[in-house]
Copies of this chain bind each other. A is one copy, B any other.
Amino acid sequence: MKDGWLNKVNWAQDGLVPAVAQETGSGRVLTVAWLNREALQKTVQTGEVHYWSRSRRKLWRKGEESGHVQKVRSIRLDCDEDVILLEVEQVGGIACHTGRHSCFFQKLDGAAWVEADPVLKDPAEIYKR
């Protein structure tokens, strides 16, 4: 597979673009993380979402520790070609390292953020090995 399609993406100066992972079926937005060229290429090649970890400065296969892999169903690009939308199947039903379904579990209620979604599995269990 030729890589010309990777050139269509407007990579920022740091080589990254944000990627939104949306769950197929439920439509829930699960995570927003970052892709570089290699991460997007690996995502397409393997069918499993790879991100670029800005904090660890390395490629990161989502779920590599937890088993909570994101299987990619479709990949979309926005009009400015600088954001990617990934339609994914979330293995284990848990995307967040806190053990919740989605990373977006804090909801603004008046002037306070409240935890709106339950912890489905204790992170100590998820990352116990």
Please give the residue numbers on chain A whose beta carbons come within 8 Å of chain B beta carbons, in ascending order: 1-5, 8, 18, 20, 22, 26-29, 31-32, 44, 74-81, 83, 85, 96-98, 100, 103-108, 110-113, 116
One of B1, B76, B113 near A116 (C-beta < 8 A): B76
Copies of chain A in the complex: 2
Q: Which residues of B contact A111 (CB under 8 A)?
A: 1-5
Closest B residue by C-beta to A95: B79
A80 cross-chain contacts in B, Cβ below 8 A: 103
Whether A8 and B105, one on each chain, are in contact in the complex, defined by CB atoms closer than 8 angstroms, is no
Residue of B with least CB distance to A84: B104
Contacts of A113 in B (CB 8 A): 5, 8, 77
Q: Are B20 and A32 in contact (CB under 8 A)?
A: yes
A32 CB to nearest B CB, Å: 4
